[in-house]
Amino acid sequence: MDSRTPLIPSRLRVWLGLSVIGSALSMSVIAEAETPQPIAPVTAKLESEPCYADGWPEALRCYRVPVSEEGDVALSVLVAPAVDSGQSEPLYLLAGGPGQAASDLARLLNPLRKLNRGRDIVMVDRRGGGRSDAFDCGLGVDTPSSIELFTAKMAACYIGAGQRPLTINSRQTVDDLETVRRSLGHERISLWGGSWGTRTALLYQQWYPDSLQSLVLDGVAPIDTKVFLAASAAESSLQELEEACSEDPVCAGFGEWRSQLDTLLRNWSDAQASSFPDPFTGRAVDEPVETWMLAGAVRTALYDPAAAAQLPFAVSEASRGNYAPLSGILGLFADMEGGMSMGLTLSVACAEEMNRIDAADIARDAEGTFIGDMFIRVFVEGCKVWPVPPQPYDAPEPREHPVLLISGTADPITPPKYADEQLGYLPNQQHLVVQGGGHINSARGCVPDLILQFLDQPGVPLNDRCLADIRRPPFAAGAFGPALIPELALPEADSMLAGDKSAGETPSSEEVAGGDQP
């Protein structure tokens, strides 16, 4: 196999890593944590040292911030200092998952560069995540390839971890975030949350309202929403892709690719699973690609419009026995390997999300969808070997902070309706909806500029007409990507350079094809 990472381990980890996030992107309140935990005292001025993070070329300030009363637990905090010494409140970036590291969000600094001119941007790796003693249970390139092997690995990790699985929760995370704010000497802060990070931000708003200036929530996971019931959201995303494809001259040529996908998943055989090509070597995979992995690849692609644009062609080819394009889509996400801390993920997900989902919920959500219960099954089985006490939330109370909500209409896990229907207790909200947008849209088109305008003038309604300029990427027309469109010449130039053609002649519809164009 290729030295980068075998296909199957990567697939299970990506399947889990994109649980809610990420996104991108935590939840809370155990019975004994319904009241705030003691905040670690700020004892001395923190010292920083320069460091770097993947995706951002400039030096960051790195801190180790003590968050326990004894001082024996410290979090990794990365700060991108404001160019002009910071005239505005800092913006903290909260990662998704649960289990993603905030330090992995450094590449988001690129589209937020204008925002970074006037305010510090802060990334805090929560306990058990990223550079803060990652609770990953030793999962990496040797991630088990099946649900059964995965649960066995997690069961062994749980047994060997002592009390740690019981101590990680969102109350702790939010209290730690408040300790970091105080330790860095920040007064009011603003929060950007992506996917599960929006849940963390909403909980911080509930518990520390006096420390908060405003919220930017991208891919909203409201406190009262069972976001792990994701099958119907994924189905809606796929249906929107199908409709967009039918309106595209090139993509429409793939015909009934959606019904072909249903047939492929329904009839997937052991022989097909064993002969599926590895995306890096092209050779048959060492371990079979099971049906749930194939469905997971489709669901994962829906997070990213550029990946989703390849699905109709890939499925059409797979129906003819050519699995290479579909394998290539799986390979797009191989670099996510190691991005999630699975001990952290299960501690939070099992106690704060799966605790309020029952078999009837799963059946209703799965009915009539391409993925059925295949996504949530990983967590159902994982939580059986990861016993943690339920951690229910209190009903959220009204808050007056300015809130900017960002959604994509084709988001397969946090659709716009979550933001529209579950946040009525936040009266000062604005909602940006990107047509055809997937999961996390803060870096697309004019959205970074709108975020900056909101943070600078949170009480002023945004002019969001520029969102209409954000289009779906062109659909793949073949193995080499989208169809090329001939460059249109001015009629006058056309008549002078090609005298035998009519000056007013325009290309036919067949010549101008290949996805939505800007």
Task: Tell me the backbone φ, ψ of residue 86, rounded to 5 degrees.
Answer: 80, 85
Please report, for residues 250, 286, 292, the alpha-carbon distance to residue 244 in angstroms, rounded to integers and kept in the order given.
Answer: 11, 36, 25
| Cβ pair 217, 404 in contact under 8 A | yes
Alpha helices in 269-400 (DSSP H): 270-275, 291-301, 305-308, 311-318, 324-331, 342-352, 359-366, 377-384
> b/e for 492-504, b at 16 or more Cβ within 10 A?
eebbeeeeeeeee
Tokens of 184: 């860095």
Percent of the chain with pLDDT over 70: 82
Supply the DSSP symbol for 277: B
Q: Which residues contact 357 (CB under 8 A, 6 or more apart)?
A: 226, 228, 229, 376
- Asked if residue 155 has pLDDT above 50, the reply is yes
pLDDT interval class at 101 (50, 70, 90): very high
Supply the DSSP symbol for 481: B
Q: 351-409: per-residue pLDDT in tens?
A: 999 999 999 999 999 999 999 999 999 999 999 999 999 999 999 999 999 999 999 99
Please report, for residues 27, 140, 363, 504, the alpha-carbon distance to residue 501 in angstroms, rounded to integers and kept in the order given.
Answer: 66, 61, 62, 9
pLDDT for 28 equals 27
Task: Tell me the backbone φ, ψ of residue 389, rounded to 5 degrees.
Answer: -70, 145
pLDDT interval class at 483 (50, 70, 90): confident
Q: 219-245: per-residue pLDDT in tens?
A: 999 999 999 999 999 999 999 999 999
- Asked if residue 49 has pLDDT above 60, the reply is yes
Percent of the chain with pLDDT over 90: 73
Q: 261-318: per-residue pLDDT in tens?
A: 999 999 999 999 999 999 889 999 888 888 988 999 999 999 999 999 999 999 999 9
3-state secondary structure of 483: coil
Please report, for residues 377, 414, 415, the alpha-carbon distance to residue 225 in angstroms, rounded to integers and kept in the order given.
Answer: 19, 10, 11
Task: Tell me the backbone φ, ψ of residue 516, rounded to 5 degrees.
Answer: -65, 140
pLDDT interval class at 345 (50, 70, 90): very high
pLDDT interval class at 146 (50, 70, 90): confident
Q: Write down the residue that tokens 């960051």 correspond to.
A: 60
14 vs 79 pLDDT, higher one: 79
3-state secondary structure of 131: coil
The mean pLDDT value for 193-219 works out to 98
Half-sphere exposure of 19 (CA within 13 A, CB side): 33
For residue 310, which of 8, 15, 515, 470 has the smallest C-alpha distance?
515
Q: Which residues contact 57 (CB under 8 A, 6 or more apart)?
A: none
Domain ranges of the chain: 31-227+394-468
The mean pLDDT value for 96-101 works out to 91
31-227+394-468 folds as: Rossmann fold (3.40.50)
pLDDT interval class at 86 (50, 70, 90): low
Report residue 483 CA to chain centroid gap: 29
